[in-house]
Amino acid sequence: MEDLSLHILDIAENSIEALAKKIELKIEENKKKDLLTLEIADDGKGMDKEMLKRALDPFFTTKKTRRFGLGLSLLAEAAKASNGHFTVESKPGQGTKVKATFQLSHIDTKPLGDISQTLISLIMGHPEIDIFYSHKINNSKFSLDTKEIKAQLNGMAINTPEVIKLIKKNIKEGLGNLRRLK
């Protein structure tokens, strides 16, 4: 995968397949520590110890449409290639948490990519899922919570073109402000 936003999309889609109703995506860029951290947590069905051991095997998948599962293993390799770390925690019935760290200045650290489009794709394709997104750069933070947005829509679907346009604008402005404040 070319950038980290595609890894995030892949893992979020896995969360949805695991019957998650809520996905939390946290990104932190810490220039002083030279560290980029991605954390994706869900409330899906989770994995038992045996499945968790096999989750990083690129030739293991629970999906019926293909015979390999590269998502977690590719993200793990991307983290390791950039002097970072990768962990997965999961318990049956409690969900899964994926955390990857990357050395920001490392030549092999992939670009973050289009987080805005990743979020919009998830919201459009899965309006029933609550997505909480927070992005922190040093001491500045931007967040978006689709549960809060849905509460303000008075029954209007979150994935209507008008609402998606407003959400996309909000994300782009929020991330733009973050970049200016760093």
Can you give the pLDDT at residue 44?
Answer: 96
Phi-psi sector, 34: left (phi>0), alpha (psi -120 to 50), beta: left
Can you give the pLDDT at residue 181?
Answer: 76
Can you give the pLDDT at residue 67?
Answer: 39
Q: pLDDT of 89-132, one tens digit each?
A: 999 999 999 999 999 999 999 999 999 999 999 999 999 999 99
- Between the alpha carbon of residue 154 and those of residues 132, 146, 148, the distances in Å are 20, 13, 11
Q: pLDDT of 24-69, one tens digit each?
A: 999 999 999 999 999 999 999 999 988 888 777 655 555 554 433 4
Map tokens 């019957």 to a residue.
Answer: 19
d(CA 9, CA 83): 22
Q: CATH code for 4-181?
A: 3.30.565
Map tokens 């293993």 to a residue.
Answer: 73
Can you give the pLDDT at residue 66?
Answer: 43
DSSP 146: H
d(CA 57, CA 77): 11
Q: pLDDT of 152-179, one tens digit each?
A: 999 899 999 999 999 999 999 999 999 8
Domain boundaries, the chain: 4-181
